[in-house]
Each structure stands twice: as structure tokens, then as C-alpha cells.
Structure 1
Amino acid sequence: MTVVLRVVCVAVGALVLAVVAARELGFLWVASESVPPGLWRKVSEPIGRGSVVTFCPPDEPRFRAGREAGFLPSGFCPGRLPRLVKPVAAVAGDVVEIGHEGLRVNGRLLPNTRPIEVRPLELLRPYPPGRHVVHDGEIWLVSTYHRLSWDSRYYGPVRVTDLESAVRPVWSYR
């Protein structure tokens, strides 16, 4: 084996080891624009309004629609869906109102939440407009960071049992 090949093998091995170690320590790379992209870490803290969470969406039509409409890449969660990282906008007891101007939580309009039109609409429709009370065991995940975020505006409430962890940024580049 040549010296160059040995160096390459050691470098690749070190990179694989670093990625596995980082994952085991709760680090994840977030490329989504729903939160500032960068390096995030899973944290052990209660999840509430304002938290940022990671979850594997269940293999359901409402989540597959995001991939079919081109909003999501394939991933390693059930149904080849990607792991998602989203901010928590509403928790049990909150009132979510969806209208043409955007999404309101307890009467407060959230910035960057006006639903976008997607063609063909058969693939992806906004969650039904109107007033929705968040039930026990549910949360709404809505990004105000980027207006094109694919979030609860389209797929509705998420079961708390589907969440993996709260996450916090370690380093971001926006």
C-alpha cells in the first residue's frame, strides 16, 4: 500500500469515526432553513413553546406530501422521510388560527407564516384555515425564520410522542 493510499484511508477512517462519535454525543448538522443552518446538539430539557425540536415524521400521507411536492429530500426516517428540526409555536391549550395573512397563536400573528402557493395544489395544501385548539399530546411546529419553511402550516399538529429531543445551536452560519 502506498503512503498516499494509507493517508487517505486513515483520513477517511478518522472522518467516519468523528461523524459516529458526534452523532452518539447528540450532535447533528442542520441544513434546513427552518432554523439557522449549522451544528446543533440534542439537549435534555423540557419541550415548550419556543423550543426547537427534532423528530422523525411518521410515514403518513400528510408528511409524504412534503417530499412529493419537492419540499423535503429523502431521508432515513420511516417512509424514507428526513429527520426534521422545527421550532415549537403552540402547545396544548393554545389557540392556532390559520388565515390568508398567516398563522396566529393566541391572537399573535407570527412573522413569515403566510402560506405559500404550491403547484400542483393536489400535492400540498395548507392545513385547513380557521381556529384550532391544540389538544393534549400535540404541538404545532412553525418556523418564523424562513417564509418557505414546510411546517405545521401544511401538515398540522404533531404528536408529542413523535418528538426526539429539544436541540440548541452550537454554531450556525446565518
Structure 2
Amino acid sequence: MRFSPFNRFAAVIIVFGGVVTLCGIAALAQTQPARQAQRQTPAIANVGRTPTAEEMAAVDRTVGTTGKELPPGRGTAKEGAAIYARKCAYCHGQNMEGVRQMAGTGALIGGPRLAGAGPPTWAAPASGIKFFAFVTTVFDYIYRAMPPYQPYSLQPDEAYALTAYILFKNDL
């Protein structure tokens, strides 16, 4: 491909202009004094401070295996069935069979099997609720992490009822 004299002249001008611009920027950067780094006070008060024990207790929902941290409340399997249909069936299926998140299924969020026989729906040594060794662990997980799109939203009575319903569906 051959360049015309005009194209060659235009290319030289563009390269020359770029070199001059870069040299000018470098010279300007060397002539200005270095700015001193100044510590700035945050615009919002108390950002980054250590929370108090009372603040931590207000958001701590962790329940150990002994159950001494369980919140007051109650729930039955019958109450849990209604809550499950409203808040859990979309991800875990109408009969706790689990929902796989796959293209073309319409499932935006998948959920593991919670009851019933068959292969597990996630890579765990056991399927469903029998994976958890303690009932308090089941309650704790439901209470803190479910539903996944709105964790910490369940009230203690709802978590107790869901735990009872899931245990009932697993013949436990």
C-alpha cells in the first residue's frame, strides 16, 4: 500500500504533535511542587469505629448447638406450611424437592432439596435437612440466612414454624 505525499505529511504532523504534547506534560509535572498528603476528616461521624457490645448484641442472631442463644418464640408445623408456601417454595419447590437454577427453567434462584428421597441437589455428603447435625443449626440457618434475597427478615416465630415444618416433612 502506497502513501500519497499528503498522507505521509499528515502522519508526520500527528506523530510530531503527540511527541510535543507528551514532552510538555512531562515538563509541567516536573516543575510543579509535590503536593503534601493531608489527612482528611471523614464527612460522616463515627464511620469506622468499633461497635459497642450493645450494638453487636442487637444484630447478633447466632445460635449455638446448645440452644442457649435461642430467641423466645414458638411455631408449629401447620403454621410453617403456610409460611413455607409464601416465602420458601419458590426456591425449594412446593414439596421441598429443590429447584435447580438452570437456563430455561424460569428459576432465578435455585434452592437445595429439603425433604424427600433422591440424589442431593447440591454437592454435600447428605441431602436436605439431614445434613445438619443439630436442630439448633437448622433453626440458626433459617433465622439468619433465609430467604437469601432478604436475610435477617424472618421473625423468631416464623423461623420456629419453618423449622418444625421442615422436620415434619423429613419424618423427624
Determine if the TM-score, normalized by the shorter chain, exceeds 0.5.
no
Query: TM-score scaled to structure 2, two decimals?
Result: 0.23
Query: TM-score scaled to structure 1, two decimals?
Result: 0.23
Compare CA radii of gyration and give the structure with the larger one.
Answer: 2
Q: Which has the higher strand share?
A: 1
